[in-house]
Structure 1
């Protein structure tokens, strides 16, 4: 095996590093000759955004980690047998609808909170009655259906999700009331 001089070995190491530091292709350079003014403006905006982010489009394409938005999820369950309907399919659809409403309630509890009313009666240093009631009230908008899953032969599970932006919007709207 031939021995390479040190300068060739050094160039083999340094050139890829320098290429990574060079600016990548710009969107305005890739525009076709017949591009309209709106397309050219979009390309300029993309290049400006890439400069602000401290990256170029060519280099960063494989290196950007996409972080999903945090989600608030709600789960609901409902049995098919207890639903109104003339046929089994009608009862199944009603069970899915009931599970969806329960999942909405779960989301509302997480976004708006749960109001608890509790009353305990103590007689002769003994708790003789303990009552707790919970209530939730609020509006949920923008919930996305994640999945509908049959559970066993007679029930359904529904999962809904809200992203952080939707939760922020709901909370702001509730504060304005």
Structure 2
């Protein structure tokens, strides 16, 4: 294998970095000749926004990849038909609210844990009664509504999310009590 001089190796490292800093194509340059005034104005606005963001079209501002914070998600479901209310729209709103509360309970279970109480009665080596009860207790703050999705014609699904910082704050506040 031939050995390259240090200047060639350095150029091989530096040139890609410099190329990343070079301005990319502008939207105004990509306009067709018969573009109308509104399209041209949109292209100028896009180029201005790209300059303000410190990036060119299709490129990120820097070489550092930003990873999103991990999320804890909770999902809740509720049926419309079982809700109290005089009109269908009122029952839908109540169902969405109920699904949101169930999603909060799901988040509380993940953050604070689930307390289980179980009792089994055995007679003549046969389990005759088996009872299990679960309870969730805790405060949830900072939950963000991710989506509300109709499921079929009679139910809704709600997804809430907490980022890692909010979970840390909630756990810290719970320990101080």
Q: Do these two structures clear the TM 0.5 threshold for a shared fold by scoring above it?
A: yes
* Alignment correspondent of 1:166: 166
Distance 1:175 1:72 in 2: 19
Sort the Cα spacing of 1:21 and 1:93 in 2 relative to 1 into closer, same or farther, 3 A. closer
CA separation in 2, counterparts of 1:145 and 1:76? 11
RMSD of aligned C-alpha atoms? 10.3
Runs of 4+ in 1 over 6 A off after TM superposition: 1-60
Structure 1 pair 117/16, CA: closer, same or farther in 2 (3 Å)? closer
In 1: Cα distance, 2:176 partner to 2:131 partner: 33
| Unmatched 5+ stretches in structure 2 | none
Aligned counterparts of 2:176 and 2:37: Cα–Cα separation in 1: 41
Would the aligned equivalents of 2:54 and 2:61 in 1 still touch at CA under 8 Å?
no
Shift of 1:47: 25
- Measured after TM superposition, the shift of residue 31 of structure 1 is 32
Report the TM-score when normalising by structure 2: 0.69
Cα offset, 1:137, TM superposition: 0.3
Call closer, same or farther: CA 1:151–1:49 in 2, change over 3 Å: closer
TM-score (ref. length: structure 1): 0.69
Q: Matched residues in 1 for 2:43 and 2:174: separation?
A: 39
1:78-100 CA-partner distances (Å, limit 9, x unpaired)? 00000010000000000000000
